[in-house]
């Protein structure tokens, strides 16, 4: 009798916590995986739209293939430009026949596909002159995150069941009937509170996103008919959506930057990379570039310069000069602005993660995510360099990235020339 009662109590605790934790784990998986996939699709679409504008400028150029190679984002990505006169592609070899016909024939659109056994996101955009631009983004990294999340949630669920069994066994041995009933009620109330909390979190996550997306879509379609307050509402909404998008991109980049499986370093013409990055900006920036070759990761260098330019634009009205200066065996990448500058006491703190309040206090703005400069430092550290900020005369700040100079024969390389 006693053994049967102990078994029932133990199983009740174990199954109860297993069910509650399983429901919470399922809700967490559903929200997290859906959110990350939507953000991945949105960022891929934005990247494809930017690339299409670059492709349209070089559509008739013999250097289109080289441009597409520079636009690929990794070894598993692919870009196809289907022109009336023929196909131009770069990255992993993919035949147009492997893509959904409706996606190619009726752009724009996007769809998750499997190419050569690899999960990919295909984004199609129309190009001037009847051409179609298709870019495939690998989803292997995101799938790895999903697999890790599933493993963690399963482990937590199993652990909760074992904990419930242990608690049930202890309660059946140690507690009187009254205490057992009281504890059971408390556990039930706690489970209900946790379930209600999960429901509230789900609502709080979905409601703002749905409201922002729907309101933004409606207001953008009627922008020309929205004077006064409505126009201001549109500006506020789009600015918040933009900031949220930047934060998501930065968080994903932080996760990617924390990985240790970097690709082998390659020799990169830093002056050419600077010109390419600035060419994609909507506002021209003066440059003073000395020819320089460094050993590193092109994606990280691209991200470093982009984040520094975004930081100057967001907090100081834009960069006033981008310079490459060679000194001995080092090369300095400098981004100067004419803003309020950065006080000496904050010059280290602004490179910490989520230092948005610090930037707002020192630079008069609160629109960033607080991750841009942290990413800069992490990327530069991975590249074996260092980054800091200093005063610029007569006013403003100068962000400096210093790296070791390289050349194809292994000796320090010194170049001259102004752009």
Q: Does 275 have pLDDT greater than 90?
A: yes
Q: Is the peptide bond before 108 cis (omega within 30 degrees of 0)?
A: yes
Q: Is residue 331 part of a domain?
A: yes
pLDDT in tens, 86-125: 777 777 787 777 788 887 777 788 888 888 778 888 888 8
CATH number of the domain where residue 290 is located: 3.30.565.10
Considering the domain architecture, whether residues 312 and 373 belong to the same structural domain is answered as yes
* Three-state secondary structure call for residue 176: coil
Q: Which residue range forms the structural domain that includes residue 191?
A: 2-30+143-250
Q: Which of 165-169, 237-241, 318-322, 364-368 has the least mean pLDDT?
A: 364-368
Q: Which of 25-39, 130-144, 223-237, 337-351 has the least mean pLDDT?
A: 223-237
Tell me the average pLDDT across 335-350. Answer: 91
Considering the domain architecture, whether residues 204 and 114 belong to the same structural domain is answered as no
Q: Does 56 have pLDDT greater than 90?
A: no
Residue 410 has what pLDDT?
A: 45
Q: Is residue 416 part of a domain?
A: no
Burial of 408 (0-12, 13-18, 19+ CB in 10 A): exposed
Q: Domain total for the chain?
A: 3
Considering the domain architecture, whether residues 105 and 241 belong to the same structural domain is answered as no
Q: Is residue 41 part of a domain?
A: no
Considering the domain architecture, whether residues 223 and 323 belong to the same structural domain is answered as no
**Rounded-to-integer distance, Cα 320 and Cα 341, Å:** 13
Kindly report the average pLDDT of the chain as a whole number.
Answer: 76
Helix (H) or strand (E) holding 337: strand 330-337
**Rounded-to-integer distance, Cα 321 and Cα 395, Å:** 13
Last residue of a domain, one of 140, 164, 182: 140
Location of structure tokens 């100067």: 336
Last residue of a domain, one of 140, 163, 180: 140
Considering the domain architecture, whether residues 162 and 207 belong to the same structural domain is answered as yes
Interstrand relation of 78-83 and 86-91 (parallel, antiparallel or unpaired): antiparallel
Burial of 194 (0-12, 13-18, 19+ CB in 10 A): middle
**Rounded-to-integer distance, Cα 20 and Cα 7, Å:** 20
Considering the domain architecture, whether residues 335 and 390 belong to the same structural domain is answered as yes
Considering the domain architecture, whether residues 304 and 319 belong to the same structural domain is answered as yes
Q: Which of 153-162, 289-298, 365-374 has the least mean pLDDT?
A: 365-374
Considering the domain architecture, whether residues 24 and 164 belong to the same structural domain is answered as yes
Q: Is residue 40 part of a domain?
A: no
Considering the domain architecture, whether residues 121 and 211 belong to the same structural domain is answered as no
Q: Does 345 have pLDDT greater than 80?
A: yes
- The long-range contacts involving 198-205, CB below 8 angstroms and separated by at least 24 positions, are 198/23, 198/24, 198/27, 198/28, 201/31, 202/27, 202/31, 205/31, 205/35
Q: Is residue 63 part of a domain?
A: yes
Considering the domain architecture, whether residues 154 and 125 belong to the same structural domain is answered as no
Residue 416 has what pLDDT?
A: 37
The closest alpha carbon to 265, from 406, 72, 414, 377, belongs to 406
Tell me the average pLDDT across 254-274. Answer: 76
Would you say 115 and 89 are in contact if contact means Cβ atoms under 8 Å apart? no
The edge-to-edge listing of strands for the beta sheet with 118-127 is 86-91, 78-83, 131-138, 118-127, 109-115
Alpha helices by DSSP H, 222-260: 228-257
Considering the domain architecture, whether residues 10 and 98 belong to the same structural domain is answered as no
Rg (CA), the chain: 27
pLDDT in tens, 355-406: 655 454 455 555 555 678 988 998 999 889 999 999 998 889 999 999 998 7
pTM of the entire structure? 0.43
Helix (H) or strand (E) holding 398: strand 397-406
Q: Is residue 75 part of a domain?
A: yes
Q: Does 206 have pLDDT greater than 50?
A: no
Last residue of a domain, one of 250, 278, 312: 250
* Three-state secondary structure call for residue 355: coil
Q: Is residue 10 part of a domain?
A: yes
Phi, psi of 85 (to 5 degrees): -90, 0
Residue 415 has what pLDDT?
A: 42
The closest alpha carbon to 97, from 118, 113, 121, 74, belongs to 113
Cα→Cα distances 326→67, 202, 333, 380, Å: 27, 53, 9, 17
Look up residue 295 and give its two tokens.
């050993």
Considering the domain architecture, whether residues 195 and 314 belong to the same structural domain is answered as no
Q: Is residue 338 part of a domain?
A: yes
CATH number of the domain where residue 92 is located: 3.30.450.20
């Amino acid at each position: 009798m006693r053994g049967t009662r102990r078994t029932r109590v133990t199983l009740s605790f174990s199954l109860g916590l297993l069910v509650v934790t399983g429901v919470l784990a399922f809700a967490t998986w559903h929200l997290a995986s859906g959110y990350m996939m939507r953000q991945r699709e949105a960022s891929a679409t934005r990247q494809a739209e930017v690339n299409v504008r670059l492709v349209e400028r070089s559509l008739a150029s013999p250097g289109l293939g080289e441009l597409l190679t520079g636009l690929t984002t990794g070894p598993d990505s692919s870009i196809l430009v289907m022109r009336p006169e023929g196909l131009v592609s770069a990255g992993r070899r993919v035949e147009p026949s492997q893509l959904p016909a409706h996606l190619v024939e009726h752009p724009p659109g996007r769809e998750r596909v499997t190419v050569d056994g690899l999960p990919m996101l295909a984004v199609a955009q129309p190009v001037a002159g009847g051409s179609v631009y298709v870019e495939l983004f690998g989803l292997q990294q995101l799938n790895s995150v999903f697999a890790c999340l599933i493993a963690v949630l399963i482990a937590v669920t199993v652990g909760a069941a074992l904990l419930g069994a242990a608690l049930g066994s202890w309660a059946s041995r140690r507690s009187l009937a009254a205490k057992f009933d009281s504890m059971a009620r408390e556990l039930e109330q706690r489970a209900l509170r946790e379930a209600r909390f999960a429901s509230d979190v789900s609502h709080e996550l979905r409601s703002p996103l749905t409201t922002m997306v729907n309101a933004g879509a409606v207001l953008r379609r009627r922008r020309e008919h929205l004077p006064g307050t409505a126009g201001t509402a549109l500006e506020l909404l789009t600015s918040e959506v933009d900031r949220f998008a930047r934060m998501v991109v930065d968080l994903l980049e932080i996760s990617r930057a924390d990985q240790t499986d970097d690709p082998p370093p390659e020799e990169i013409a830093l002056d050419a990379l600077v010109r390419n990055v600035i060419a994609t900006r909507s506002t021209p920036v003066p440059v003073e570039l000395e020819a320089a070759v460094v050993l590193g990761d092109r994606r990280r260098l691209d991200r470093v310069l982009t984040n520094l330019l975004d930081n100057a634009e967001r907090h100081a009205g834009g960069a006033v000069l981008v310079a490459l200066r060679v000194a001995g065996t080092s090369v300095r990448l400098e981004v100067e602005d004419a803003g309020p500058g950065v006080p000496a006491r904050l010059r280290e703190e602004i490179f910490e993660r989520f230092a948005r309040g610090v930037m707002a206090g020192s630079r008069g703005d609160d629109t960033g995510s607080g991750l841009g400069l942290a990413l800069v430092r992490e990327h530069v550290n991975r590249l074996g360099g260092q980054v800091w900020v200093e005063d610029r005369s007569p006013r403003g700040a100068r962000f400096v990235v210093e790296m070791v100079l390289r050349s194809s024969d292994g000796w320090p390389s010194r170049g001259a020339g102004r752009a």
